Structure 1
Amino acid sequence: MKGLKTRLLAAAAALGAAVLAPAAAQAARSWVLPSTTTLSGANAWVTVDAASSDELYFPDLRPLRIESIQVLDADGQSVQPQSPAMGKFRSTFDVQLTKPGTYKIASVSTSVMASYTENGEVKRFRGSGEDFAKQVPAGAADLKTIRTLARSETFVTRDKPTDGALKPTGQGLELVPVTHPSDVVAAEPATFKLLLDGKPAADLEVTLMRGYEHWSGKPSAELKAKTGPDGAFKVTLPQAGLWWISASYRTGETGRGGPPPPGAMGGMPGMGGPGAPGGGEGGRGPQGPAQPLAGDGYSASYTAVIEAQLP
């Protein structure tokens, strides 16, 4: 009973903190979390959770969709995740590491919000990049688009570190490890580089947080860094454990000012809410005449879970 009372008091304190700091409480964080980051031997498997939550690694908002999952083996070849399942708060799947080396496991989603004119009437679109190409007429009049690319990933190594899976795609915001993810050690400096569409992402703020603080009653340890002209940043993680790295880029319009088109669905591709490709039901009902977007825009976000090993 004493333990239960303590947990209830902690929950009440957390609720009070949420009232005092609503912005922090509402900050959704997406993550792809492996059961381990290092393995050895031929029969090597890892179980992975993928979700978006208020607190790191404590799924309480929505799953990342199984359709968004991409796995690259040590040679950079695509691998199919095993035993995939999507619940209310998280997705989970297994990956067999059949080859020695480093695997990259990611959730990658794209979305497009657009407005255009057809037969004198403003039309609105919101969905995946693939649906945009299919549903919006090529050469549409007065076309304005806001494109979003979100990437969340992690790295798992069997036997020895390799670089085959770490090559950037040139799309969105990506991390290029200078220090290999398997070689990150607590209390020792590590260097990483961020690319935006294949080019150095200069002057971006990077947030690093240590998870698994839900039951400790303490806020997650948080660090800040900024990328240099070459997109690189250096950080010394003070504690061992699974650290979450986050950065984002935005230019132009956000699309938040005008009402959505009739029947538009909220949410992001890759997330488990309405509006994700293949996910959720959802129109909001009639919203009145569609309004054109104010202009073009582009945003890219990146998160990664990397383990800092004990010295």
Structure 2
Amino acid sequence: MHKPTLKWIALAAAIALPLAAQAHKMWLLPSATQVAGADPWVTVDAAISNDLFHPDHHPASLDRLVITAPDGQTAKPANALTGKYRSVFDLPLDQPGTYKLALVNQGLIASYELDGQKKRWRGEADALATAIPKGAKHVQVTASSHRVETFVTNGKPSDGAFKPSGQGLELVPVTRVTDLVAGEPATFKLLLDGQPASGLTVTTIAGATRYRNAQDESTTRTGGDGTFRVTWPHAGMYWVNVATEDSHSGSALASKRRLSYTATLEVLPE
């Protein structure tokens, strides 16, 4: 069996349900969420860590990085590298408006027993048939769909980057994602395969968890139209997460599907 690559290690860290209950959390952290000027850039960290937003466990893979520019087209990062605890890349903001930066992981996860030992495999659907050895017993296959995002605006915010793909969990802002203010409510809409995702629990945790003894997480639920509201207690960077499970795997090989969505949002002072 092949050793798991960085992207599948990152995917494994995104599977627990709910994500907020586990120690390791995946995130993207931009150096700024609002910029302006003649030649604006941002630098972005990508990691899986115990503490938000302190890279102390494993870098997130950039293999599945997708950057959507304000005009809806795909933008390319610059100067990407992966170190011991984090990956880093720069992004030139060539267009005015809001960019969406996302790590998008989809695939299959299999567990089985071979010669009395429990084994696990992660990878693409077309590789599953040859990845599971003959003689394997108690084979269970689960589809996975995980999305980790953050947002950066050059000048005036825009909506062109938020066209849903119709796959997995996706966020559609009602309140501008780079115009969040402490003490003011913000409204968002969650979609599941393009349809309103109702009745899901959304967890919000402020960053800098290493400097306090508790996560201090707050939760809310999406309504029938998929919307939820968050009132930010103070300024800072926030980790917002939702996870769910269903039987719509999209694959005859998988009996169920696990999904998650995570966003890093910056909240400014009043």
TM (norm. structure 1) is: 0.70
2:169 corresponding residue in structure 1? 173
Report the Cα distance in structure 2 between the residues aligned to 1:135 and 1:189, rounded to whole angstroms.
45
Of residues 49, 56, 70, the one that matches 2:45 is 49
The 3 A distance-change label for structure 1 pair 26 and 235 is closer
| Equivalent residue number for residue 136 of structure 1 | 129
Per-residue CA distance 1:153-205 (angstroms, 9 max, x = gap): 00000111000111111111111111110221110111001111111111000
Return the match for 1:65 from 54, 61, 64: 61
Indicate which of 223, 237, 241 corresponds to 1:242: 237
Q: Is the 8 A contact 1:187 1:238 kept in 2?
A: yes
201-210 or 164-173, larger mean C-alpha shift: 164-173
1:113 matched to 2:105? no
- Partner residue in 2 for 1:228: 223
How big is the shift at 1:219?
3.0
1:206-225 matches, within 5 Å, as 206-214=202-210, 216-225=211-220
Aligned counterpart, 2:256: 297
Match for 2:226: what amino acid?
Answer: G
CA contact (8 A) 2:93 2:154 kept: yes
> In the alignment, residue 250 of structure 1 is paired with which amino acid?
E
SS in 1 for 2:63: helix
The residue that corresponds to 2:182 in the other structure is 186
Mapped contact 1:105–1:155 kept (Cα < 8 A): yes
* Aligned match of 2:265: 306
Letter of the structure 2 residue corresponding to residue 180 of structure 1: R
Specify which of 72, 76, 80 is matched with residue 72 of structure 2.
Answer: 76
Summarize the Cα distance change of 1:26–1:197 in structure 2 as closer, same or farther, 3 Å threshold.
closer
Q: Identical aligned pairs, as a percentage?
A: 45
Residues 11-22 of structure 1 correspond to what in structure 2 (within 5 A)? none
Give the root-mean-square deviation of aligned CA atoms: 2.7
Rg comparison, structure with higher value: 1
1:277 is matched with: none
Alpha-carbon distance in structure 2 between the residues aligned to 1:136 and 1:164: 39
Q: Residue 89 of structure 1: CA displacement?
A: 1.3
User: Higher strand fraction: Structure 1 or Structure 2?
Assistant: 2
For residues 227 and 77 of structure 1, do their structure 2 counterparts lie closer, same or farther at Cα, with a shift above 3 Å needed?
same
Distance in 2, matches of 1:158 and 1:240, equals 20
Structure 1 residue 113 displacement after superposition? 2.8
Q: Which amino acid aligns with 2:123?
A: S
**Alpha-carbon distance change, 115 to 60 in structure 1, aligned in 2, over 3 angstroms:** closer
Q: Matched residues in 2 for 1:55 and 1:110: separation?
A: 25
Count of residue correspondences: 235
Compared CA separation, residues 187 and 25, structure 1 to 2 (3 A): closer
User: 2:237 corresponds to which letter in structure 1?
Assistant: L
Q: Output one character per residue of 1:262-287: Cα deviation in whole Å (capped at 9) or x when no partner.
A: xxxxxxxxxxxxxxxxxxxxxxxxxx
Alpha-carbon distance in 1 for matches of 2:248, 2:159: 36
Unmatched runs of 5 consecutive residues or more in structure 1: 1-22, 117-123, 138-142, 255-292
| Deviations, residues 180-239 of structure 1 (Å, cap 9, x unaligned) | 10221110111001111111111000000110232x344344211100111110111111
| Pairs within 5 Å for 1:79-94 | 79-94=75-90
Residue of structure 1 equivalent to 2:6: none
Compared with structure 1, are the counterparts of its residues 25 and 230 closer, same or farther at alpha carbon in structure 2 (3 Å cutoff)?
closer
Letter in 1 for 2:227: A
Aligned partners of 1:172 and 1:300 also within 8 Å:
yes
CA gap 1:87/1:177 in 2 versus in 1, 3 angstroms: same
8 Å contact kept, 1:84–1:91: yes
- Displacement of 1:25 after TM fit? 8.7
CA offset at residue 59 of structure 1?
1.2
